[in-house]
Amino acid sequence: MVNMTVIKEAFKPPLLVFCLTVLALALTLFAYSLSLEVNSEKILNPDVRSWNSFFKSVSALGVCLLPKNMKSSPKFKETYSDDLPNAVQMNITTVSFLTETILIIDNNIQAGYYVHVTISGEEIGYSRDKDFVNMIISYSKLHNKGKLSCVTVTGPSYILPDVKIKLPSCTQPKQPPNGKRNLVMMETSKLKDEENCPKKHFGTLMLKEKEILNVYLSKVDINLIQLHIVVMSCALCAMVLIFFLYSVLKKVCKSEKKVSLDDEMVSF
């Protein structure tokens, strides 16, 4: 019969500290799995690139508004040329939608603009810099009393978000009232150099993120995550139990062996 003295002697530091730490971790994981149930409707899906993440990547870049006498941006291409790989040619996606945009050049908010901008895939998180995204952004009073801009995005489907955008569609004007301007868009550190972009032409372009564009985990995915967490918690508790039993049995065996040796010494 195992008494409390044997258990106390078997369960001493550092084993005690280790087991308590593992138990605390198991309880924390279990509590976290319960919290997922409460906040299940607000957990973003990390495996799906939403339009909000695309807007965030674009808004983090710096822009350089090219002079009016420059007809085309060095990087801008009106359409995808024939020299692109056939795989890319077959998966070009064009999306037009209304959203809130803010174009700031030299600390001044621009109004009534119609701009072209080309962004390389490398600038928004893709390593293949030969692939790019074209954007046409027009801001005028025709779009919801001047509060929204019509944004047209064209690019390879694997660069653009793979979910349908939940914003009103729009059509770009055929003849911009103030003419077309071109933007060069890349990392701010690259554009801040006076040689790359004069200060009076440097600025930012912000696309406002909207909650409706977020992609959340489904109920099935959350239940699967909870199941994995609970299994992990049970595995940690089982590990602590195994350590406890091993330590107690080891101590009991040592005690019995010691008693046996003492009996032999007495009989001798």
Whether the CB-CB separation of 159 and 126 falls below 8 Å is answered with yes
Is residue 3 pLDDT above 70, yes or no? no
Whether the CB-CB separation of 116 and 184 falls below 8 Å is answered with no
Q: Give per-residue burial for 119-143: e unless 16+ CB within 10 Å, then b.
A: bbbebbebeeeebbbbbbbbbbeeb
Q: What is the mean pLDDT of the chain?
A: 76
Whether the CB-CB separation of 40 and 223 falls below 8 Å is answered with no
| pLDDT at residue number 20 | 86
Whether the CB-CB separation of 53 and 165 falls below 8 Å is answered with no
Backbone angles phi, psi at 95, to 5 degrees: -130, 135
pTM of the predicted model over 0.75: no
R_g (Cα) of the chain, nearest Å: 32
Residue with tokens 């508790």, as numbered in its chain:
237
The encoded tokens of residue 37 equal 């149930």
**Interval 26-68: pLDDT, tens:** 999 988 888 887 777 778 888 888 899 889 888 888 888 876 6
The encoded tokens of residue 144 equal 């919801």
DSSP three-state, residue 103: strand
| pLDDT at residue number 4 | 63
**Interval 85-117: pLDDT, tens:** 444 455 788 899 988 888 888 888 877 778 888
The encoded tokens of residue 156 equal 């390879």
The set of long-range contacts for 90-93, using a CB threshold of 8 Å and a minimum separation of 24, is 91/156, 91/157, 91/158, 92/154, 92/155, 92/156, 92/157, 93/153, 93/154, 93/155, 93/156, 93/157, 93/160
DSSP three-state, residue 156: strand
Residue 145: band (very low, low, confident or very high) from pLDDT cuts 50, 70, 90: low
Q: Which of 224, 187, 221, 218 is nearest to 202 (CA)?
A: 187
Whether the CB-CB separation of 125 and 87 falls below 8 Å is answered with no
Is residue 197 pLDDT above 70, yes or no? yes
As a whole number of angstroms, the distance between CA 46 and CA 43 comes to 9
| Parallel/antiparallel/unpaired status of strands 92-99 and 149-156 | antiparallel
Whether the CB-CB separation of 113 and 178 falls below 8 Å is answered with yes
